Structure 1
Amino acid sequence: FAALVFLASGTLGIISFGSEKLLNPPIQIGEGAVFLPMLSGLFGASTLIISMFSRRELPPQGETDYTLPPKRLIRGIFFGSTAGSLVAWFPGVSSAVATIIARLAIPNEYEESESEFIVSLSGANTSNAIFTLTALYIIGRTRSGAVAAIDQILTINQETMLLLFTIISLTALISYPTTILIGKKALKLFEHINYTHFLSSVLILLLSMVILFTGTTGLVIFATAIPIGMLPHYLGVRKSHLMGCILLPVTLYLLG
């Protein structure tokens, strides 16, 4: 089933990239990109629709104490950071793959496994962001959309890298207490949110963005991507296999 999901999403990716010149957005801001309808359908709208039909209320929310032992905390950071740094060097491989690698390395026999996985997830995303910048500086290749944007805006040299790493460090220090503070306040806010209405609003927003920025061609890609994005849920496989939408076209392109 995993291979089926990978091939289905990969086929969608090949067709979508081949149809990029057919995009006819009503609002022209730069060049239309198939990533918006394709990824929104595969990962966004599909999950929203499943959630709308599976449950209509948010589960009870409450504060919990952080009780992860230091040994497991360090292990989660190590596995996540290592996986994130490794995948940063490969084209078409995102931090989602790093989280899978980290997940495989973390045993599930302990009650704190979920907490340790969250730690490794954070480590993977952070290290991936750092090492994609490093890859840009060392080999001159972009490995993510954010880094590609940085490459177009800034001249990459030692001074720029030092500035970027300083910003990353400061952001990490500020985001830790800020996340805890906002998280506690968000708990009270979530209690008053109508789950179905909230999901419907986000789905309508996604649909509107797809139509406005990619036109009817993007809408077709979006509509096709939604059922493919639902396959992992019903077939019991990980949604990360949907990354075939990028991996398969990129692999075929590199092979010529």
Structure 2
Amino acid sequence: MLAPLFTGLFGAPVLLDAMDGAGVPPQADARVTLKRRTLGSTAFAGAAAGAIVGYLPGVSAAIASVLALPAVPGDDDARGFLVATSGANTANTVFALFALVALGTPRTGVMVALDGLDGSPSLPLSLSVVAVAATAGFALVLLVGDRYLRAVGRTDYRLLSVSVLGLLVVVSWLFAGAVGVAVFAVSTLVGLVPPRLGTRRVHLMGVLVGPLALGL
């Protein structure tokens, strides 16, 4: 049920709202405009929050990004949020791996898949894979990032959104049948509420945090 639930809460509403938009906006100069001190403090805040939630069940890197928001300066909130989110995601991946090895309990979906493999994961090997993947991602952003955005910007964004929505319905059906499609539809309606109330979608994680906190 998690697939239709989370794609409905966090995926479909974004696609529906994006249909009325103009797609990917033109990108500005690729140079970093944040001050070095601001960049460092924001990245550190995101990484620290990601490290903390890496050990907590049901708490995602998105929540870590919200925890890091007080460190984001008001005059650079959009860029600062991206930096904080990047730090939180990276740290969450690493420390969720530490939690799996130390506690034997997976904290993220990736760790659940890793825990299902035969044999216990090797920490040095796993950290090496994380480092290689992070380096490859960094290099790919620099090499093909701008060309990728230009290619996506030329596509029919409405058609792309409708196609992805159709794919999400199929995935919900494959995972949970007709009930999954119904859950996907209801959770999509719920996911449309936060932007209209001026709140963040991260609060929808209560659908998982609440039952975990209550031991359900």
Q: 2:26 aligns with which of 61, 68, 80?
A: 61
Q: TM-score, normalised by structure 2?
A: 0.93
1:37 Cα deviation from its structure 2 partner: 0.7
1:213 Cα deviation from its structure 2 partner: 2.6
Residues in 2 aligned to 1:99 and 1:190: alpha-carbon distance in whole angstroms: 26
Residues in 1 aligned to 2:157 and 2:12: alpha-carbon distance in whole angstroms: 15
Q: Does 1:235 align with 2:197?
A: yes
Q: Does 1:42 align with 2:4?
A: no
- Relative contact order, higher structure (CA 8 A, sep 6+): 1
Partner of 2:73: 107
Q: 1:94 aligns with which of 60, 73, 82?
A: 60
Residues in 2 aligned to 1:41 and 1:178: alpha-carbon distance in whole angstroms: 30
Q: Does 1:179 align with 2:141?
A: yes
Q: 1:77 to 1:60 in 2, by over 3 A?
A: closer
Equivalent AA in structure 2 for residue 69 of structure 1? K
Partner of 1:168: 130
Partner of 1:149: 113
Residues in 1 aligned to 2:212 and 2:59: alpha-carbon distance in whole angstroms: 10
Mean Cα deviation higher: 128-137 or 190-199: 190-199
Residues in 2 aligned to 1:229 and 1:90: alpha-carbon distance in whole angstroms: 24
Partner of 1:248: 210
Mean Cα deviation higher: 124-133 or 144-153: 144-153
Residues in 2 aligned to 1:134 and 1:51: alpha-carbon distance in whole angstroms: 37
1:137 Cα deviation from its structure 2 partner: 1.4
Q: TM-score, normalised by structure 1?
A: 0.79
| Cα RMSD for the two superposed structures | 1.6
Unpaired runs of 5+ residues, structure 1, are: 1-33
Residues in 2 aligned to 1:227 and 1:60: alpha-carbon distance in whole angstroms: 27
Unpaired runs of 5+ residues, structure 2, are: none
**Identity of paired residues, percent?**
33
Answer with 1 or 2: which has the greater Rg. Answer: 1
Whether the 8 Å CA contact 1:63–1:184 is kept in 2: the answer is: no
Residues in 1 aligned to 2:68 and 2:145: alpha-carbon distance in whole angstroms: 25
